[in-house]
Amino acid sequence: LPLLSSAFIPTDTMPGWFQPIAEYQPFTPAIETLRGLLLGTEIGNNGWLTLAWSLGLTVLGYYWSKAKFNDDPK
């Protein structure tokens, strides 16, 4: 997924059909937030998107692992 994000090139320079794929995945807001904080530029709503993606993936991973490794014999 990092290769499909804005980690190496800006999403503006990607082909039109590829831009939505790169913009709406979890690494792009995280990379843009980190880039903004390191360079001292505006991060916009990327910080909130990063928190939302992180929380969502954490909850999803928790329930998936709980379902996968549940101790209840069935």
With contact defined as beta carbons under 8 Å apart, do 42 and 36 qualify? yes
Query: Does 74 fall in a domain?
Result: no
Q: What is the pLDDT of residue 18?
A: 87
Tens-place pLDDT, residues 11-49? 888 888 988 888 888 889 999 999 999 999 999 999 999
What domain count does the chain have? Answer: 1
- pLDDT band of 56, cuts 50, 70, 90: very high
The parent domain of residue 22 ranges over 2-68
Query: Does 21 fall in a domain?
Result: yes
Q: What is the pLDDT of residue 15?
A: 87
Q: What is the pLDDT of residue 1?
A: 61
Query: Does 40 fall in a domain?
Result: yes
Q: What is the pLDDT of residue 37?
A: 94
Q: What is the pLDDT of residue 55?
A: 97
Give the tokens for residue 27. 């690494």
Query: Does 16 fall in a domain?
Result: yes
Query: Does 73 fall in a domain?
Result: no
Tell me the C-alpha distance between 74 and 54, whole Å: 32
